[in-house]
Amino acid sequence: MHGSVTLGGQVLMGGDVAPDRYEAPKGFSLSLHIKSTSDAERIFHELAKDGRVVVPLEKTFWAARFGMVVDRFGIPWVINGGEPDQPTEG
C-alpha cells in the first residue's frame, strides 16, 4: 500500500514492504502539532488503540496537550495540541 502527502508543493510518499522484508521501525518518531485540544485528544486516543502510551496526554508549559504514543504498527508519535493557555474544548 502506498500513500502520499503534498507539503509546500513537494510530495512525500511512503509505502509498505512484503512481509518477509519487514523490519520493526526504530530511531525516529513522527510529530503532530494540532491547533485544537479536542482534535489532539481524539487523535492521541485513536493512535493509542492497540498501541502503547509512552507519555500520557496532559497540559505542559509549551502546549495545552502533549503526549507520546506508539501505535499498533510500532510507529512512535509525539502529539502537541493547542497553545499553553488555550482552554480545554469539549
Burial classification of residue 4, based on how many CB atoms lie within 10 Å of its CB (0-12 exposed, 13-18 middle, 19 or more buried) = exposed
Topology adopted by domain 25-90: 3.30.720
> Looking at residue 88, what is its pLDDT?
55
Question: One-letter amino acid identity for 67?
Answer: G
Q: What is the pLDDT along the chain (90 residues), one digit of tens a residue?
A: 689 999 899 998 999 899 999 888 889 999 999 999 999 999 999 999 999 999 999 999 999 999 999 999 899 999 999 988 755 555
Task: Tell me, yes or no, if the pTM score tops 0.85.
Answer: no
Helices (H), 14-87: 37-48
Instruction: Decide: 72 and 49 in contact? Cβ < 8 Å.
Output: yes
Domain range annotation of the chain:
25-90
